[in-house]
Structure 1
Amino acid sequence: MAIVFADESGRNDPPVYVMAGLIASAAAWRAFDAAWMAELNSPPAISVFKMKDAYRGNGDFRGIGQVERQAKCERLARIIRAHCTGRLSVVTLHDAFNEIIKGRISGDVDDPYIFSFDGILARADKLATALDYDGPIDFYFDRQIDKEPLLNAHWDVYHPTLDAHFAARFERKPAFLADEQAPGLQAADMLAWHIRRAYADGHKDLAKVGEVGALLAEMSRSDQLYDAAALTVLRESIHKKFFGANRFAPHVEEYVRQTVAIMTTCENYIKMTEPSKRLPVELMPLPASGTSRYQLVRNCELVGIPHLHRRSDSSCIEQTTAE
């Protein structure tokens, strides 16, 4: 059995959104916790590690010099190297995500947090297999008031769709902990921050982000980069699955529904108000609005889709003509 602690970085901070995690056995995590807390309590002592505070000299690192802060980060990174067997990450380019994915599949993946979650599970499975971890993988995420309900709702829909292998890997719903409770989350925060920094610096190479980045870069890993090309392939693959089920992707479906309704409304209105003299007019039996003499019905004996009936006698517009 393996356990993954995962955190994110760059939600509103381009150029990339990062979800990253560290994997180890339960026994290794217990040893890690002891070593991590011992280092936190060593001079200069801090109560909880947050990478952004270590970098800027804020929070528990206020008043601690830059050289001491860096040295403490390096000691903590070596603890990660000594106890964690691998690292995993999903990196998504902000601009590409907004252009290719957001608003083009479904609401539950419009948030990069949920979008990255599916990817991080796949990375964990691949890395666990490479490291010879059998059995289920437990996930722990940093507690976030706005994200926990979102992920729980997504899981309830997502988990029943997993194949047998993934269902066995991810038996339990991911849990949320405060980083003060879980040193593993503090370590994941360090990893996610350094990966994002590599992209922010333009070289994209974790090994070049100081000594800490170099230490973390040497670990076994499973990474996914969602750039424009990868996101396009993914979007088309998802759309193809919907097409195979004889439907559009939810966002497209809603757009088409609204567009068809508007177009039908306009066409039927023109036909009813400006008919050619003494010539019959056939109305489209599709949802429409603004036609007060008609009512929308779900189906009838003649038509099995939503369409219009006359309000006066409930006759179906399949048999209705205007003169």
Structure 2
Amino acid sequence: MLAALFGWYRTKKSLAFLRAFIDDSGSEKGDRRLFLAGYLNRADKWALFADAWKEELRAAPSIDYLHMVEAGNFRGQFHRKLGWNEEKRAEKLRSLARVIRHFDPISFQISIDRNHFYEVLAPVSPRGLANPYFTSCSALIAKLAQQGETTGTKGKIEFIFDSQEGVDDDMDMFFDDMMQGISKKARSWIAGRPLFRSDREFDGLQAADLLAWHIRREHEEVGFPNMPMAELLRGNNHIVSEIPNSYIDAWAEHHRQQPGISSVQSKTQWRNLKSEARKLRSVGINPARVTKPGVYYPDSWGIFGRVLELARRLLGR
């Protein structure tokens, strides 16, 4: 099954370059679950998709871009004063969904219980790691890379996320350490650090927004049949993953046992840490690899231990 999902992306002459576009949608109901969802396809198919997507955006009634917050609430380009109603909106979204289905991408989703995360893990985490979006980004990258590994083929995936303030800096600083938790073969599927871009810049992010919004709405409509649009957008091959609360509990228990958390929990402390780290980067030093001579930190510390040691070195704690 996984070979069918990933293996067909490989060409006979060379490895196909893949792109995954990911957006998020967070619920304010129940467990306030955060969903990250998106699509994976070959780069050449994404180029063709962009032309088809723009053509459908321009088709009457036309819009310049798709943003589901506007569509869902009849705001901005979907304002009722511009002639939009439920029927016209539904047909526009269905037309865009048909464009996505035409290119037959792999769709995927990952989710996390934000209530549990903020209650249990955030209070004992460094500022940058106390963010469920950050955690979900790294977990999703690892999940898709591991899926690729199991196929027995080779490939490269470029990950492009919708912009999130501060997360790009945090991810850039500790990405290499985060990825040490997966196998070397899985890491070989990752085409460098993830990018964080505006959905105005990449049409694939607008498609991911459409999927994430409907998956989140489907989650909120407990007891109702699957939303037809969610089913249409999921496509033929869909990967579902969830970060269990038991993982969050285990991470929190580990964090509680480590000294020095208070030195990297405020916004100012975290900003200072990143500022000092950037100075090291500017002279060719990887700040995530800075450690005291002769001091050994077990692998179980991972990125968490790196953050604390970096804080002690750079901030003099």
TM range (shorter): 0.5 to 0.7
Hey, what does 1:42 align to over in structure 2? 59
**Could you say what secondary structure the match of 1:225 adopts?**
strand
- Say whether 1:231 aligns with 2:249: no
- The C-alpha deviation readout for 1:102-134, integer Å capped at 9, x for no partner, is 334655432001110122113322554678873
Where do residues 128-143 of structure 1 align in structure 2 (5 Å cutoff)?
128=148, 134-143=154-163
CA contact (8 A) 2:157 2:190 kept: yes
- Say whether 1:53 aligns with 2:70: yes
Where do residues 93-108 of structure 1 align in structure 2 (5 Å cutoff)?
93-104=113-124, 107-108=127-128
- The C-alpha deviation readout for 1:113-166, integer Å capped at 9, x for no partner, is 111012211332255467887311100111233322222223143245543113
Where do residues 5-44 of structure 1 align in structure 2 (5 Å cutoff)?
5-10=21-26, 15-44=32-61
Residue 178 of structure 2, aligned match among 150, 158, 161: 158
CA contact (8 A) 1:16 1:93 kept: yes
Residue 167 of structure 2, aligned match among 147, 156, 172: 147
Unaligned residue ranges in structure 1 (runs of 5+): 240-247, 259-323
Instruction: Give the deviation of 1:75 after TM superposition.
Output: 0.8
Unaligned residue ranges in structure 2 (runs of 5+): 1-16, 264-317
The sequence identity of aligned pairs, in percent, is 23
TM-score, with normalisation over the residues of structure 2? 0.68
Where do residues 1-323 of structure 1 align in structure 2 (5 Å cutoff)?
1-10=17-26, 15-62=32-79, 63=82, 64-104=84-124, 107-128=127-148, 134-159=154-179, 162-203=182-223, 208-209=226-227, 211-226=228-243, 230-233=244-247, 235-236=249-250, 238=251, 249-254=254-259
TM-score, with normalisation over the residues of structure 1? 0.67
CA contact (8 A) 1:108 1:154 kept: no
**Could you say what secondary structure the match of 1:9 adopts?**
strand
Instruction: Give the deviation of 1:101 after TM superposition.
Output: 2.9
**Could you say what secondary structure the match of 1:202 adopts?**
coil
- The C-alpha deviation readout for 1:223-251, integer Å capped at 9, x for no partner, is 1123xxx2214543x57xxxxxxxx8344
Aligned Cα RMSD in Å?
Answer: 2.8
CA contact (8 A) 1:137 1:170 kept: yes
**Could you say what secondary structure the match of 1:91 adopts?**
strand
Which is bigger in relative contact order (C-alpha 8 A, separation at least 6)?
2
CA contact (8 A) 2:145 2:190 kept: no
What code does the residue aligned with 1:67 have?
E
CA contact (8 A) 2:23 2:208 kept: yes
What code does the residue aligned with 1:254 have?
P
What code does the residue aligned with 1:253 have?
Q
Measure the CA separation in 2 of the matches of 1:152 and 1:257: 23
Q: Across the two proteins, how many residue pairs are aligned to each other?
A: 243
Instruction: Give the deviation of 1:86 after TM superposition.
Output: 1.1
CA contact (8 A) 1:101 1:231 kept: no
**Could you say what secondary structure the match of 1:158 adopts?**
helix
CA 1:127–1:77 in 2, change beyond 3 Å: closer, same or farther?
A: farther
